[in-house]
C-alpha cells in the first residue's frame, strides 16, 4: 500500500512556505496535493534581520523558530484539508526549516524550525535538521536535492541537468551513466529580489520584466563575477551570507541606472549557471529549471542564449511543477531517514561517506 509523506520547504528566496503531500510506493513519490503560504511582511523582515549580527540573536532566533513552526503547522492543516486526508494517514513530515546561516567551513549550519513543536502541533512525526549530519561528516551540507533529482529525473538514455533557482542557484548533472555531480553555482533570485525591493518596493521582478528593460553593465558584471565563491571548485555551497545588498553596493560606482543593475544581476545568475553547465555538464543536452526562478522568462531566455544547442525548459516538461520539486525532495528525504537510508551524495557535498540525514521527532 502507498504511504503518505509531507514535505515542507522555505528557501533562501524568503517568499514563504511550500508544502506538498506525496504518496510513496516502492522507490517513487507521487504528488497528491500542494499549498503555498506566503510570509507576512513582518516575518520576512524578522528573518532578514537575523541574517546579520544583532542584539539578542538567540532569543529572536528561538522565538522565530516557534513562529515558523506554527506557520508550518498551519500549512500542514491546509494541505490535509485540501487533500481530504487526516493527520494519522501521514507517516512523517520532512521539514527543511528556514536557513539563516550556512557556514560549513566553520562546521555548522542553521535552519530555523522547532521540530518538537511541529510534531506536537500536527500529531505527525517530524524529520528536520537535514544538513547537520553531512557537515559533521566533513561535507558542505548542501545541496541535498541532487540525490532526489537522480531518483526522480534520471534517464538512462539522456544526459540531463536540473537547475534549481531559489535565492541561491544550484545545479545537478545527471549523466545517463556515471556519478551525479551537483553544487551551488552562485546567486539565484536573492540579489534580484533585494534590488527591486529597495528601488521599486516590489517583492520580486515578475517574469524578469524590469531586468529586460535594462542593459548589462560590463564593468559591474566583471566585478560581480570576481567573487571568490564563483571561482571555487566544487564541492561548494553558499547562501545569503555571501551574496547580499551590502556586497552588491560595494561593487557599484553609483552612476549605474537602477534597471541596468537589475539587468546585470540577471546576467550574473544566468552566466554563473551557464558556466556550471558548460564546465561540469558538458554532455547534458537538456537543462530543466525548477524553483521560483523558473517563472522568470527573461532568465530562461538568457540561459537558452548562453547554452546554444541545449534544450532549456522547466521541470513541468518532466511532469513536476517547478515550485513543487524542493518540497517533494524533503518528503523523500524524510522517508529515507525513517528507513535508515542515506540521503546525501558524498560526490556532491564532499562528506566522508553516505549518511542518514535528519533529526527525528516522533509523534
Cα separation, 170 vs 167, whole angstroms: 10
Q: Which fold has domain 3-141+324-361?
A: Nucleotidyltransferase; domain 5 (3.30.420)
Residue 137 has pLDDT above 80, yes or no: yes
On whether the CB atoms of residues 261 and 217 are closer than 8 A, the answer is: yes
- 145-322 CATH pick, 3.40.50.300, 3.30.420.40, 3.40.50.2300, 3.90.1150.10: 3.30.420.40
Give the pLDDT confidence of 75-103 residue by residue, as tens digits: 999 999 999 999 999 999 999 999 999 99
For the chain, give every residue range classified as CATH 3.30.420.40. 3-141+324-361, 145-322
Q: What pTM was estimated for this model as a whole?
A: 0.96
Query: What is the per-residue pLDDT for 2?
Result: 82
Give the pLDDT confidence of 4-19 residue by residue, as tens digits: 999 999 988 899 999 9
Burial readout 259-294 (b: 16 or more C-beta within 10 A, e: otherwise): bbbbbbbbbbbbbbbbbbbeebbeebebbbbbbbbb
Give the pLDDT confidence of 169-210 residue by residue, as tens digits: 999 999 999 999 999 999 999 999 999 999 999 999 999 999
Amino acid at each position: 500500500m502507498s504511504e503518505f509523506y509531507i514535505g515542507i520547504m522555505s528557501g533562501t528566496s524568503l517568499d514563504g512556505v511550500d508544502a506538498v503531500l506525496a504518496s510513496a510506493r516502492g522507490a517513487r513519490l507521487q504528488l497528491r496535493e500542494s499549498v503555498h503560504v506566503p510570509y507576512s511582511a513582518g516575518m520576512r523582515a524578522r528573518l532578514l534581520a537575523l541574517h546579520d549580527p544583532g542584539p539578542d540573536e538567540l532569543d529572536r532566533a528561538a522565538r522565530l523558530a516557534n513562529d515558523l513552526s506554527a506557520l508550518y503547522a498551519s500549512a500542514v492543516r491546509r494541505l490535509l484539508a485540501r487533500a481530504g486526508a487526516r493527520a494519522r494517514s501521514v507517516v512523517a513530515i520532512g521539514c527543511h526549516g528556514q536557513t539563516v546561516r550556512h557556514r560549513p567551513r566553520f562546521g555548522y549550519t542553521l535552519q530555523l524550525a522547532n521540530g518538537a513543536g511541529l510534531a506536537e502541533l500536527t500529531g505527525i512525526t517530524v524529520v528536520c535538521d537535514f544538513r547537520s549530519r553531512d557537515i559533521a561528516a566533513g561535507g558542505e551540507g548542501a545541496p541535498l536535492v541532487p540525490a532526489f533529482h537522480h531518483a526522480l529525473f534520471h534517464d538512462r538514455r539522456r544526459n540531463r541537468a536540473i537547475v534549481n533557482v531559489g535565492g541561491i542557484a544550484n545545479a545537478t548533472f545527471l549523466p545517463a551513466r556515471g556519478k551525479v555531480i551537483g553544487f551551488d553555482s552562485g546567486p539565484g533570485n536573492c540579489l534580484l529580489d533585494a534590488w527591486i525591493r529597495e528601488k521599486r518596493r516590489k517583492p520580486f521582478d515578475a517574469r524578469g520584466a524590469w531586468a529586460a528593460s535594462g542593459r548589462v553593465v560590463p564593468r559591474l558584471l566583471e566585478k560581480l563575477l570576481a567573487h571568490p565563491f564563483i571561482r571555487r571548485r566544487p564541492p561548494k555551497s553558499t547562501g545569503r551570507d555571501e551574496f547580499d545588498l551590502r556586497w552588491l553596493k560595494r561593487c557599484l560606482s553609483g552612476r549605474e541606472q537602477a534597471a541596468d543593475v537589475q539587468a546585470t544581476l540577471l546576467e550574473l545568475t544566468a552566466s554563473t549557471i551557464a558556466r556550471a553547465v558548460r564546465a561540469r555538464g558538458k554532455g547534458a543536452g537538456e537543462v530543466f529549471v525548477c524553483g521560483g526562478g523558473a517563472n522568470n522568462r527573461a532568465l530562461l531566455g538568457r540561459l537558452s542564449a548562453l547554452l546554444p544547442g541545449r534544450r532549456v525548459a522547466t521541470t513541468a516538461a518532466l511532469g513536476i511543477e517547478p515550485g513543487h520539486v524542493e518540497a517533494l525532495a524533503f518528503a523523500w528525504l524524510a522517508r529515507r531517514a525513517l528507513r535508515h537510508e542515506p540521503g546525501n551524495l558524498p560526490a556532491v557535498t564532499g562528506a566522508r561517506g553516505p549518511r542518514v540525514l535528519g533529526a527525528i521527532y516522533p509523534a
